[in-house]
C-alpha cells in the first residue's frame, strides 16, 4: 500500500484539474487567434467582390490576446507539474512546510489583466461599430 495514498490521490486530482484548465485556456487562445484570422479573411473576401476596402480594426489585439492565452496555458501546465512534484515530496516529508503561492497569484493576475483587456476591447468595438 502507498503511504499517504489519499493525499497523493488528491495531489494528482489537483494536478489533472490544473492541466484541464490549462488546456481550456490554450483552446480559448487558439479560438481568439483563429477568429481574428477569420475576420481578416472575410474582410479581404468581401473587399475583393465589391472592390472596396474593409478595415478590420483592432486586428493585432486579437492575435496578441490569443498568443498570450496560449502561452499562459502552457505556463499553467509547467507550474502545475512543478507543484505536483513539490507537493508529492512534501506529502512524504516529515517536516512542515509553508506553501509558496506567488506563482499562482502572478498567473491569476495575468489572466485577470488579460480578461479586463478583452472586455475593454469588445466594449470599444461595440461602441465604434467595428
Q: So what's the pLDDT on residue 63?
A: 78
Residue ranges in the chain modelled with pLDDT below 70: 37-59, 99, 125-126, 128-130
Q: So what's the pLDDT on residue 27?
A: 92
Q: So what's the pLDDT on residue 14?
A: 93
Domain that holds residue 20: 5-93+101-128
pTM of the model: 0.69
Q: Alpha-carbon torsion 31, 39, 60, 129, what sign?
A: negative
How many domains does one find in the chain? 1
For the stretch 47-83, pLDDT in tens is 665 666 555 555 677 778 888 889 989 998 998 999 8
E strand or H helix at 100: none
Amino acid at each position: 500500500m502507498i503511504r499517504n495514498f489519499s493525499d497523493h490521490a488528491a495531489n494528482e486530482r489537483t494536478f489533472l484539474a490544473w492541466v484541464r484548465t490549462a488546456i481550456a485556456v490554450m483552446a480559448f487562445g487558439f479560438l481568439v487567434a483563429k477568429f481574428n484570422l477569420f475576420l481578416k479573411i472575410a474582410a479581404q473576401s468581401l473587399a475583393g467582390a465589391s472592390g472596396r476596402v474593409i478595415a478590420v480594426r483592432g486586428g493585432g489585439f486579437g492575435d496578441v490576446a490569443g498568443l498570450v492565452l496560449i502561452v499562459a496555458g502552457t505556463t499553467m501546465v509547467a507550474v502545475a507539474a512543478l507543484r505536483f512534484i513539490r507537493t508529492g515530496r512534501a506529502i512524504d516529508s516529515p517536516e512542515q512546510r509553508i506553501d509558496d503561492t506567488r506563482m499562482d497569484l502572478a498567473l491569476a493576475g495575468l489572466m485577470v489583466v488579460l480578461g479586463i483587456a478583452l472586455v475593454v476591447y469588445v466594449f470599444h468595438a461595440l461602441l465604434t461599430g467595428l
